Chains A and B, each alone.
Chain A
Amino acid sequence: MVTVTIPAEVKELIAKRGIKEADVTDVVNTACQTGKYIKKGNDGLAKKVIGGLTVYVMSDLSGKGTAVVKSAYAHKMTLGKVVNVMAETDWKTKDGKAVSQGHVEMEYMTVKRNGPALIDAATGDAWVEEYLAVKTLAAAEGLFEKKRA
């Protein structure tokens, strides 16, 4: 377990995005227990599927036993199979293996299309970056929700 701190301005951001603080804490704690997160410098990016949402938390892990949350975001799309793996990035797994840029299948309401993601080629695990989640995927999810209703 780590001590998870959420600064006031980040609390405001995640509230605006409809993400609960308890879920943010849950994501970080789960990542620390399972070791399933990726790191770039002092930044750690963890994710967990909670109630149909994939929630991501970016934290500063420079302090021992602490995680200071820098941002959190989420998407409703389900990540599927890896479509391709391209160049390595500066992100690494907890074991120090390189994480690559690539594309994965993303499905929402039975519609599948590809999108860019950070990929652990060894496990096929993928992380969607913040810019994509809060803009493109949010827009697409919004458009599809209109169709379904």
Chain B
Amino acid sequence: MRHMAKSRIVSHDIPVGITVNGMSEVIGQTKGLCPKCLKTIPVTKVAEGDKVYLIKECPEHGTWKVLAWNGKEDYQDMYRYAAVQSKPERIAVKESGDCPQICGLCPDHVQHTCLVVMEITNGCNLKCPVCFASANQFYKFNPSLDVIRGMYQTMLDHVNHPIVVQISGGEPTIRDDLPDIIRMGKEMGIDYIEINTNGIRFAEDIEFLRRCKEAGADDLYFSFDGLQGEIYKQTCGRDILEQKLKCIENCEKVGMGITLVCVVSPNINLDRVGEVINFAKSKVPTIKGVHFQPIAYFGRVPISPKDEDRVTIPDLLRAIEEQTNGELRVDNFIPTSCSNVHCDAKSMSVVMEDGSLFPLTSRAFGPPKDTSSVATKTRKEISDLWRFIEDSLIVEEDDGKQNEWGDFVDRAKTHYLTVSMMAFQDAWTSETERFRNCCIHTVTPDGKLIPFCLFNINSMEGKTLYRHEMWAKYSENR
């Protein structure tokens, strides 16, 4: 909710813990971006009842009050999962103190890169209103293989192994040379490559999917907003459920793993998240995870989103617990301790023979023992959960074929389902402390790594700090 401030709601001189006006309790201070001009401005975190708000004050554009979290105690409890801060091995920008206006990364960044997003096109075969990439329609960004090679090299120079890359866009499958791009990455030494895709081409062209798999693609990061055609009419502009299901079927045939990626909107599919999880269970081991993304407001958004337009992580967790009848509970979800603790939550379960979920994660365990090296883990590794499991577990000596405990452990290695979520920041919810903690970075052709949200954030009028600037520099004008 935006106010034209005649008087300040809260002063940044008020210490944490003090109640203001009998209603708001100050629980933290940070900085963030003004949704109008994207300048760095002070942000006060306040709790009103059980809701946590960011109060942003721009000297030019007034005060903004933004819902950040639903659950004050929970919000503060998450801090115990905070990762040990670790500087990136190499940075591209030497200046500091101006986060996030000059990024690349800079000396103020306090987390290694665990996932690199590499965009290879801004073209797409859909025009989804919820897509952040649709903000810029003025440039044609299709980097050459040489430019892509340069971006891979940036990763090799700046990121420790294992290097995990998400090839993204636009829609990367509109490039016929996608298998060549994947192969190049693997030959250069990239450890893991996933393709961020809407799956339309893979549904229509199984041979193209097979070629991507054979070139070395490890996984699809596959947009999947629900099991009703009506949902896609709202999120994508047309009913593409049939293509979505066909893509999954083709992945089963070629042996390609999938993570379903579901953008969750309060009025579209928040009441259907349980269905997505149940569907995913039925398709294990092809489907390895479900990743929910509470809607973030990118593109031209002239009116500030209201509280009821938002889905916070706790809202989504409660919906999951309710819609799975407690099979997955709120307390089965923990921050990954890789990015900022308020950015994400993750659970991991074994899918048992009867189709039920056997959760392996719980807040009762507390934070991981070692958060200093969390950024080096790949998506296949879950900190200390798999320390006992080795590849040599198959009990070949057992002729009786009745090692049911061995079967259980073997099942746990393949029939697992991760259910996770990440709340991307938009201009309203942006916080510099979250940018600095970020471990998911977009690589640019000029050799930089920029936190993903920051790279994509735009103002209410559609102005960006990085995205358009990069495209303008390396694209053809339309």
Contacts and interface: CB of A to CB of B under 8 A. Distances in A.
B402 A84 contact: yes
A116 B399 CA distance: 9
B400 A86 contact: yes
A143 interface: yes
B361 to A, nearest CB: 7
Contact of A115 (B387, B390, B406): B406
Given A137-B405, A140-B405, A146-B365, A116 B400 contact: yes
B451 to A, nearest CB: 31
A84 B395 contact: no
A135 B388 contact: yes
A135 B392 contact: yes
B20 to A, nearest CB: 39
Interface string A69-81: 0000000010000
Interface string B340-351: 000000000010
Interface string B396-427: 01111011111111001000000000000000
B360 A136 contact: no
Contacts of A149: 362, 364-365
Q: Chain B interface: which size bin?
A: 20 to 34
Nearest to A83: B402
Nearest to A116: B398
A114 B409 contact: no
A136 B404 contact: no
Given A136-B406, A137-B405, A116 B397 contact: yes
A16 interface: no
A116 B361 CA distance: 29
Interface string A81-118: 00110100000000000000111001000000111100
Nearest to B365: A149
A146 B404 contact: no
When A and B form their complex, which 6 residue pairs have the shortest distance between CB atoms, in order from nearest?
A113-B404, A139-B388, A139-B409, A116-B398, A103-B402, A115-B405
Interface of B: 350, 358-362, 364-365, 385, 387-390, 392-393, 395, 397-400, 402-409, 412
Interface of A: 77, 83-84, 86, 101-103, 106, 113-116, 131-132, 135-140, 142-143, 146-147, 149
